[in-house]
Amino acid sequence: MLRLISLIFAILLTAIATPCAAGEKVDFDQQVAPILAERCLGCHSGAKPKGGLDLTGSKAVLKGTKNGPAVIAGKPEESPLWTRVEAGEMPPKKPLSAEEKVILKTWIAKGAGWGTDPIDPLRMTAKQRAGFDWWSLKPLRRPVPPKGGDAAWPINPIDRFVLERLDFAGLKPSAEADRRTLIRRLSLDLLGLPPTWEEVDAFVRDERPDAYERLVDRLLASPHYGERWAQHWLDVVRYGESGGFERNDPRRNSWHYRDWVVQAFSADMPYDQFCRLQLAGDILQPGDPDAIKASGYLVAGIHNTVLPGIKALQDAAFHEELEDLVGNVGQTFLGMTANCARCHDHKFDPISQIDYYRLASALSGVRHGEAELPSPNFKAETDRISAALAEIAKRLTEMDAPIRKEIMAARKAPVASGPAPIAAWDFREGGKDRIGNLHAQPSGGARFTSDGLVLDGKLAFARTVAIPRMLREKTLEAWVRLANLDQRGGAVITIEEGDKFDAIVFGEQEAKRWMAGSDFFRRTKSAGGPLETAAPSRPVHIAIAYRADGTIAVYRDGLPYGQSYVSSGPQSFNANQAHIKFGNRHGVPGGNKMLAGIVERARLYDRALTNDEIAISAKVENFVTETELVACLTEPQRAKRTDLLKQRAELETQLAKVKPGKGAKAYTNRPVMPQTMRVMHRGQVSEPGNVVSPGGVAALGKADFKLEPNVAEGTRRVKLAEWITSPENPLFARVMVNRLWHHHFGIGIVETPSDFGFNGGRPSHPELLDWLASEFVERGYRLKEMHRLIATSRTYRQSSMPKIDGLKKDAESRLLWRKRPMRIEGEVLRDSLLAVTGLLDRSVGGQGFSDYKENNNAGTTYFDPIDPVGPQFHRRSLYRFRPRSASQGLLDAFDCPDTAGSAPRRNVTTTPLQALALWNGPFALRMADTLADRIRKAKAPEGEVVASYRLVLQRDPTMEERGRATRLVEQHGVRALARVLFNSNEFLVIE
Amino acid sequence: MNDFVFDRRRLLSWSAQGLGATALLHLLQRDGVLSAQEQTHLPAKVKRAVQITLVGGLSHLDSFDPKPELRRRHGQTLRMEHQPDTFFNQIGLLRRNDFDFQRCGRSGLEISNLFPHIAEHADELTVLRSMVADSANHTPALFVLNSGFPLNGYPALGGWLSFGLGSEADDLPSYVVLPDDRGEANGGASNWTAGFLPAQHQGVAFGSGPNPVGNLVPASPISAAEEEASRAFLRETNLAHVARRGDDADLSARVRSYELAARMQLAVPRVADLADEPVSVRSLYGIDRPETADAGRRCLLARRLLERGVRFVQVYSGGPIAGSPRRSWDAHENVRENHSAEARRIDQPVAALLADLKRRGMLDDTLVLFTTEFGRTPFTQSGAGTVGAGRDHNRYGFSCWLAGAGLKKGIAHGATDEVGWKAVVDPVTWNDFHATVLHLFGIDHERLTFYHNGIRRRLTNVHGHVVNDILA
């Protein structure tokens, strides 16, 4: 057998190989560069090439280094490169093959023309590897469906592509299958459940011309469609319900993700949105329970909760799991095995090691955990109130702006008009808020002087009453003189609510630097601005703007201070819950939280000011006070304004009262701010190299996300999701339509659904694949449209009967001269048994059931499969608790994969153990008994035998069958017949 | 455009996992159409193997790797360049071995008195004293021992052998696992998973009792007459179905699978019933004594399985890793107590297996592997400056042994440093170990591959060198 396998490989490889072009012109990029890259550059490249010889670029090779050129064009015998190779000295261990030698020599003899310079081993497709020009990376084009062949046969363009290929191979398509076969096929394929005999009968009798199309539509609208196709997706994303490894802790709350997938399929969520939510839902739709559930994708895989006490080993374990995640993201969404590039550039595909670490950086903040799901109406309520608030803000501005302008214009010494704060203090004149009512009360020895608010750095501070407005976006601004530059952590101005705060802080994390302080440094990073020197001698202007996307920007003297950065914010502060403090970073006064110095002035804004606004504000001292403004209004305006302010206050109070609520817990991503990612030499964490930024795979284009290496966690995944789902990414659509095809036909157009690379399969119908993919994009990534297109094609409706010429030319039926017969999967088998016996509980969604006995042995959970009896165990197999490292009984025998790894296409085996499980196993026998009971009780007029055939196989027995079956039933009861029918090929195979 | 071949032979390649393909392959093997022995890459030295797997980490310093220097430096501090990767990170002082070594057999191979019975077979053993492991954490380390990868989901050595060579028995699984009575090791069935290989290559765990495999007999009572009539009708139903629609390989394969199942129903209880073994054999394995009864029964069963054509049998020594008292070789607290108790359970049974295989001539084409996750540290797991009684995990150096055909016997290969902390002469990784085992079976480890998600996977990943020095 081994010999045969080797033989097949040899055949395959030869089929792929380009024939040696000895004597003809040699293509450098196609033929020579791959040899140099694979056999020479390992030593002869980089900073210190062996023997001082660098073979990556034409200059070094042709012009030479201190030892002269390695190659003399046209003269192989005088070229050291050739003579060393010819002598068998190079490469030192494995010499080049005869064929490779011919290429090399011919290339030199024909003038040693160079191509891509320096050699980029990943760029061009070569004999042993795929390049940027690999078929699956090429842009989608929309081929015109071919015309020709039997014009009467095709129903839709799919059939035209298939027919052309069949014609080419000299094969004819098969006739349409009979109606019973068609409805069984469609039901099992689209729903994973057999039809009832009554449904079959009705369809057989339906004489309407569009009876078939109506059936397809009816099935696609069924809630069980989502259950069926969710299972296929869950196979790919290796969804399991325990952690694996030593403890194998059960994940009781991961089913929310499973349910979300079911709902997304049933609701026909556009596939791009479906993917974006799984990769970055928690960031894109914060607070949305569906997004939290969708993010369960990121933590669907294995996770080791037992780690050694040594940091290096923990890091190594982290990178193992990260590889698993990068691998699954690449394979699931792109059909790319990016995980193979962790230790070195991909050996077969154009994925560099840097590409791998860019992806790893994008995903490195993902952590396993649980989150409380907001109550279902939380998001709806929050959205509603926020929209109303935005409307009021707009109307207020419309009313105020002209009046502010008039007031400023009327002033005797007009100054430039700055942005409007919601509170402003000039402490040289006391603690009064010059805009509204946020007056500052001194405490702990703080006092107002003609210089401002004097703070002693011990207990002195000032605070305001509660802010009547909710604040999310905001700007804090102050002018301050410091008593000294050595203090470490006092705050000039703080907005605080309970434990939460944002503040302008001096010197806390880094001596002599300003920073945006926050609770547990949650939104704090170094802005990297210059060290403070002037603040003791004069008041400096400091401002921090908190933008809606989380960006935090610090300013000094009206100019940006260091770099702005993205935080997990902005933090919301609720109306009437938060207040402003001066001099006390947060909480109880004392310690390093207190500022020593003088705060001259301060301002608070309800939005993030722009750079220009801050530049102006730094110089502006005059404001229109609330009183002035109100005084200038007409009576009706004043009434209207009062009304708007009242509405605003009410809405803000409402908003503060909308609580996430005690929702259920969901196993999901609990991201952290990751460490800066580095390329690890040979994949070893002990050998970190260059820093990388989050990004994609260069071969797919737009791989540079233009992000800093330490960019906020959420931004990384949002960018990754955008890049993956971009309409310009040809793999995104190709891979998914091929998955659909794989499940409809039992084998994909590309037979390796998660690998469109060099080691994967080649498309049997490349034009059809591209046509389907462009159709998918054009139809808004709607899966149901694609199912409909495929299921209503003539190709899909063909009979599955074998034909001698077909089997001879194409045993796997990949050319689709027939519909391949497919054995049902383990889940479909179990669900079918429950369905035909009448036990199936068809309720959709919710927490599942477990048919395991759990045995916690000193912290490790073991799962023993049992066969529990009771109606709660009669739900579809999708709702079975799905731990890892656990036997699955009957389902194991029928090739249900262990969820330790992704299973884009399941094995299909036929083994004696499988036969034993279905013939003797407790579940199958119990189902046989149940069917017998059902039939006995029904006392059907057609008789027990006919009733059995109708329930199990949805047809009447033939005359011969009826005679034999009757004898079996007479002697051994209906149970014996049921057992036989459950084990029959007809029951187990989708024809 | 058409750069792939539509070819029946492709059924055997990576690309073919469609319905029927693997079924057909499976049956072809069983039909003897492709006899394994004629098809190997290299001349095969062995046809079958049994692997004894010690869960928890056997102290090489107290068993197969004598260190006189450790005795001399008892109570001293071990100077190390880097912080060691132990598990608990409690580095005590050096501790001398708890078990004394003797020169054994004509070879003079040194083995400690922890294993007096195994020591009697010293001249049959090929000891690897320079093993190194990828992980000092139990479950990943056990996964690597079995599959070469530290994660769940990769096929085990037994599965690869089953895939590469098939089974010589129609009526028994090709890979059988015999877990310790005290429970399955951590990772459970993941340790003998087929991973991405087709399902028939997964290890089948035999329980104790007359029907050690599930579903051998109907779960509820069925009379012989009903059984016979039902079988006949099933066969007829399926044949009629084939006749109606035409012959498809996968459909006839299913018919065949029920015939093989019927034979397995007879064969499995027969092999598991030890009653037909003479009393002398049973007592040779120690089945008559409580401390050796479990391992004795399983070692004897292993021999019977191998004898009947099973390709690979794995016998576990040790149950779940956590818990107190210890149920494995994980001697963090006290090596003397723990290892004495564990060795009492397996020493005689394993020695009996060697003796029995030899007596029957089976050792000429059977391989016995004696393996453990990792070794233990020369310093104790205790506070700094103290000599404790237990030792922590040591992935840098430990011992395993092989016995059987194709090997130099009565030798020790490789060496750890003078205190047994790190392998310094000819280190052997698990990839090397697996490559060597495959080599003995006549398989080139670089050529036994299975395509999965973009990679032609190997047992040895992208590493592994055959340890040529131990080959006869």
Q: Are residues A706 and A692 in the same domain?
A: yes
In angstroms, rounded to a whole number, what is the distance separating the alpha carbons of residues B366 and B312?
10
Residue B194 to residue A906: CA distance in whole angstroms: 13
* Cis peptide, bond prior to residue A143, ω within 30 of zero: no
A135-139, B152-156, B467-471: least confident range: B152-156
- Min Cα–Cα distance to chain A from B122, Å: 35
Please give the pLDDT value at position A120: 82
Total residues found in chain B within this entry: 472
CA distance B234 to B257: 12
A512 and A437, same domain (yes or no): yes
Chain A residues touching B39 at Cβ < 8 A: 1-4
Which range among A319-323, A393-397, B191-195, B455-459 has the greatest average pLDDT?
Answer: A319-323
A197-205 own/partner pairs: CB under 8 Å, 24+ apart = A197/A950, A197/A951, A197/A954, A197/A955, A200/A954, A200/A955, A203/A179, A204/A179, A204/A180
Nearest to A259 by CA among A898, A875, A884: A875
What's the distance, CA A792 to chain centroid? 31
Q: What is the 8-class DSSP label of residue A427?
A: G
Amino acid identity, position A307: L
The confidence score (pLDDT) of residue A505 equals: 96
What is the least distance, in Å, from the CA of A257 to any CA of chain B? 22
- Strands of B212-351 (E only): list them: 312-317
In a domain, A327, yes or no: yes
Residue A255 lies in a domain: no
Strand (E) or helix (H) holding A453: strand A452-456
Residue A209 domain-assigned? no
Mean pLDDT by 10 residues, chain A (991 residues): 41 38 68 83 75 82 75 87 87 84 89 84 79 93 89 94 95 97 98 98 97 98 98 97 88 96 97 97 84 96 84 88 96 94 89 96 96 78 80 82 78 68 92 91 89 90 92 94 92 93 92 91 85 90 91 91 82 90 91 92 93 85 72 88 86 74 85 92 90 96 91 92 95 98 96 91 95 96 98 98 91 92 96 98 95 84 89 96 87 87 86 92 97 93 95 96 96 97 97 95
* SS3 readout for A557-574: CCEECCCCEECCCCCCEC
Per-residue pLDDT at B26 exceeds 80: no
How far is C-alpha B313 from the geometric centre of its chain's CA atoms?
Answer: 6
Residues B331 and B321: beta-carbon distance below 8 Å: no
Q: Is B292 helix (H, G, I), strand (E, B) or coil?
A: helix
DSSP string, A342-407: SSSS-SSSS--HHHHHHHHHHHTT--EEEEEPPPTHHHHHHHHHHHHHHHHHHHHHHHHHHHHHHH
A586 and A678 in a common domain: no
Last residue of one domain, picked from the residues A692, A726, A760: A726
Interface of A with B in 168-197 (CB under 8 A): 169
Among residues A752, A725, A723, A722, which one has the least CA distance to residue A739?
A752
- Check whether residue A486 and residue A345 sit in a common domain: no
Range B319-338 average pLDDT: 88
Give B394 or A548, the one with higher predicted confidence: B394
**Nearest-10 crossing angle of helices B249-272, A912-920:** 80
Sequence-ordered alpha helix ranges (H) in B4-57: 21-30
Omega before B140 cis (within 30°)?
A: no
Domains and CATH numbers, chain B: 47-210+277-470 (3.40.720), 223-272 (no CATH)
Cis peptide before A912 (omega within 30 of 0): no
* Residue A218: HSE in the Cβ half-sphere, 13 Å Cα cutoff: 12
Q: Residue B120 above 90 pLDDT?
A: yes
A915 touches chain B (CB under 8 A): yes
Residues A254 and A241 sit within 8 Å (Cβ to Cβ): yes
Question: Which residues on chain A are in Cβ contact (under 8 Å) with B217?
Answer: 920
Q: Has residue A669 been placed in a domain?
A: yes
Average pLDDT over all residues of chain B: 88
CA dihedral A421, A427, A429, A430 (to 10 degrees): 100
Based on C-alpha coordinates, what's the Rg of chain A? 36
- What's the confidence (pLDDT) of residue A768? 98
Q: Which residues make Cβ contacts (< 8 Å) with residue A188, sequence separation at least 6?
A: A194, A824, A828, A832, A990
**With contact defined as beta carbons under 8 Å apart, do B315 and B51 qualify?**
yes
A618-622: long-range contacts (C-beta < 8 A, 24 or more apart)?
A618/A541, A618/A543, A618/A555, A618/A557, A618/A558, A619/A416, A619/A418, A619/A558, A620/A415, A620/A416, A620/A417, A620/A418, A621/A415, A621/A426, A622/A408, A622/A411, A622/A415
Q: Return all residues near A20 (Cβ < 8 A) that are at least 6 apart.
A: A99, A102, A103
On whether residue A899 sits in a domain, the answer given is no
Chain A residue at shortest CA distance from B139: A246
Half-sphere CA count of A586, side-chain side, radius 13 A:
18
Q: Residues 138-167, chain B: which have Cβ within 8 Å of A?
A: 138-140, 150-153, 164-166
Specify which residues B471 forms β-bridges with: B407
- Helix H or strand E segment including A643: helix A635-657
- Residue at B433: amino acid letter: F
The alpha carbon of residue A711 and the mean position of all alpha carbons in its chain are separated, in whole angstroms, by 18
Q: The dihedral of CA B43, B45, B49, B55: what is its sign? A: negative
Cα–Cα distances (Å) from B410 to B122, B123, B404, B413, B435, in that order, read 6, 4, 11, 10, 21
How close does chain A come to B105, measured CA to CA in Å?
Answer: 40
Nearest CB partner across the interface for B217, out of A907, A920, A961: A920
Asked if pLDDT for residue B6 goes beyond 80, the answer is: no
End of a domain among A59, A91, A121?
A121
At residue A776, the pLDDT reads 97
Report the Cα B453 to chain-centroid distance in Å.
26
What's the pLDDT score for residue B410? 97
CB neighbours of A144 closer than 8 A, spacing ≥ 6? none
Please report the DSSP string for B432-452 in residue order.
HHHHHHHHHTT--TTT--EEE
Q: Which residues of B touch A991 (CB under 8 A)?
A: 245
Name the residue range of residue A670's domain: 308-375+660-726
Location of structure tokens 């004097």: A454
Q: Which residue in chain B is spatially nearest to A890 when comparing CA positions? A: B215
Q: How far is A155 from chain B (nearest CA, A)?
A: 26
Q: Which residue has the tokens 């071919």?
A: A146
Q: Are A340 and B250 a contacting pair at CB < 8 A?
A: no
pLDDT at site B46: 95
Judged against a pLDDT cut of 80, whether residue B355 lies above it is answered with yes
User: By percentage, how much of chain B surpasses pLDDT 90?
Assistant: 68
Cβ neighbours of B268 in A, within 8 Å? none
* Same domain (yes/no): A341, A357: yes
Q: Answer yes or no: is A303 within a domain.
A: no
> HSE on the CB side for A610, CA within 13 Å?
3
Burial class (CB in 10 A: 0-12, 13-18, 19+), A178: exposed
| A59 DSSP 8-state letter | I
| Contact of B376 with B393, CB cutoff 8 Å | yes
Q: Is 80 exceeded by the pLDDT of residue B12?
A: no
* Per-residue DSSP letter, A412: S
Per DSSP bridges, beta strands B125-131 and B398-404 are: antiparallel
Given an 8 Å threshold on Cβ–Cβ distance, is B237 in contact with A980?
Answer: yes
A748 touches B: beta carbon within 8 Å: no
Contacts with A310 from chain B: Cβ below 8 Å = 83, 85-86, 89
pLDDT score, position B289: 95
Whether omega for the bond prior to residue A530 falls within 30 degrees of 0, making it cis, is no
| Residue A454: strand, helix, or coil | strand
B106-130 per-residue burial string, b: 16 or more CB within 10 A, e: under 16: ebebbbbebbebbbebbebbbbbbb
**At how many degrees (to 10) do helices B430-440 and B157-165 cross?**
30
A665/A735 same-domain check: no
Asked whether residue A584 falls in the same domain as residue A599, the answer is yes
Within this chain, do residues A458 and A573 fall inside the same structural domain, yes or no?
yes
Q: Which residue of A has its CA nearest to B443?
A: A2
Does residue A524 sit within a domain?
yes
Let me know whether A321 and A461 are in one domain.
no
**What is the spatial distance between Cα A807 and Cα A104, in angstroms, rounded to a whole number?**
44
Would you state the pLDDT for residue A661?
Answer: 66
> B213: distance to nearest CA of chain A, Å?
9
Number of domains in chain A: 5
Considering only CB atoms, B9 lies closest to which of A8, A820, A977, namely A8
Whether the pLDDT of residue B5 is over 50: the answer is no
> Cβ contacts (< 8 Å) between B27 and chain A: which residues?
910
Task: Enumerate residues 6+ apart whose C-beta is below 8 A from B280.
Answer: none
CA-closest candidate to residue B155, choices B164, B146, B166: B146
Cβ-nearest to B229 among A310, A917, A972 = A972
Tell me, yes or no, whether A553 and A697 share the same domain.
no
Tell me the two tokens of residue A449.
């002087």
pLDDT at A14: 37
Q: How large is the greatest C-alpha to C-alpha distance in chain B, in angstroms?
A: 83
A432 contact B CB<8A: no
Same domain, A117 and A130: no
Secondary element (H or E) of residue A850: none
The residue among A76, A94, A121 that closes a domain is: A121
The residues that bridge with B423 in the sheet, in sequence order, are B416
pTM of the model: 0.74
A550: alpha, beta or left? (left if phi > 0; alpha if psi -120 to 50): left
- Same domain for A500 and A580: yes
Q: Does some domain include residue A231?
A: no
CA dist A459 and A534 (Å) reads: 25
